[in-house]
Amino acid sequence: MFTGIIAAVGAVREVKPAAGGVRVAIDTAALALADVRSGDSIAVDGVCLTAVRLQSSGFEADVSQETLNCTTGFAPGAKVNLEKSLRLADRLGGHLVSGHVDGVGTVTRFEASGDNRLLAVAAPRELEKYIARKGSIAVNGVSLTVNAVNGSAFEINVIPHTLQTTNLNGLTIGSKVNLEVDLLARYVERLSEASK
């Protein structure tokens, strides 16, 4: 479980074919790994990965084909948002994020709005019912508040701090982003289906 508050921006160093998917090597930059052990979870652009090998500059993780199919994937050299898993004593500054990406969205607008940036994303139609005005959504693992919804498209106001501390500052029109809808919305849907 994660909060969507990004701790560092790292980079994908290497991607190697592996049985059933790939093995990725992630350089973690400023993300301290002293308290991380093999088997711990780290969110990489919103994707919960298990660190299987720790190195002085980062870690390696195995990524299944299923994960590759429903995310933006891992391109060598790509800048990625990083967050270690939540501990029970940590502050919950964002919202509960599972690291299980629901789909890939496409950036349709990314423009200055004062010191902030207006980010508009077209989400897959099947996610439309989970996206609500003033609700939470994770974009590349970043916990954000939805300001407006139009069908499966939504808008977010990104503040300067978030632009400086995440990889969202590198987005352009047409960029693909990992999306995770609010965990509570999925459970509400499941409960309402079960009560019919």
Q: Is the pLDDT of residue 89 over 90?
A: no
Q: What is the pTM of this model?
A: 0.94
Give the angle subtended at the CA of 23 by the CAs of 166 and 12, to the nearest 5°.
25
For residue 147, count CB atoms less than 10 angstroms from its CB and return exposed for 0-12, middle for 13-18, buried for 19 or more.
Answer: middle
The residue ranges of every structural domain in the chain are 8-84, 103-194
* CATH number listed for the domain at residues 103-194: 2.40.30.20
* CATH number listed for the domain at residues 8-84: 2.40.30.20
Phi, psi of 22 (to 5 degrees): -140, 165
Question: For residue range 32-45, what is the model confidence (pLDDT) as tens digits?
Answer: 999 999 999 999 99
Question: For residue range 162-185, what is the model confidence (pLDDT) as tens digits?
Answer: 999 999 999 999 999 999 999 888
3-state secondary structure of 114: coil
| Of residues 88, 89, 33, the one with CA closest to residue 61 | 33
d(CA 1, CA 43): 9
Q: Is the pLDDT of residue 194 over 80?
A: no
